[in-house]
């Protein structure tokens, strides 16, 4: 199974809020732009993006071991 399929599966396990953030990020929005849309600070958004990426990495690793 391809890694893109694993990534897709991993994204589907995220909360709706996390999906929204990661999709905005993948669409090319900056941390500042996402922060404005969410009404939070830019640092908060950057931390959230990094945590979401780590969740996705962990899920992909789990899928690869199955």
According to the model, what pLDDT value does residue 66 have?
87
DSSP secondary structure string for all residues of 8-30: HHHHHTS-HHHHHHHHHHHTT--
pTM here is 0.90
According to the model, what pLDDT value does residue 34 have?
98
The total number of residues written for the chain in this structure: 66
Is the CB of residue 25 less than 8 Å from the CB of residue 49?
Answer: yes
Quick: pLDDT tens for 25-61. 999 999 999 999 999 999 999 999 999 999 999 999 9
Is the CB of residue 18 less than 8 Å from the CB of residue 48?
Answer: yes
| Structure-block tokens of residue 27 | 């669409």
Torsion of the alpha carbons at 23, 29, 32 and 33, rounded to the nearest 10: -90
């Amino acid at each position: 199974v391809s890694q893109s399929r694993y990534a897709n599966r991993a994204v589907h396990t995220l909360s709706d809020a996390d999906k929204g953030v990661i999709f905005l990020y993948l669409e090319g929005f900056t941390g500042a732009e996402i922060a404005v849309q969410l009404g939070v600070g830019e640092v908060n958004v950057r931390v959230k993006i990094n945590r979401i990426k780590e969740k996705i990495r962990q899920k992909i690793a789990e899928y690869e071991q199955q």
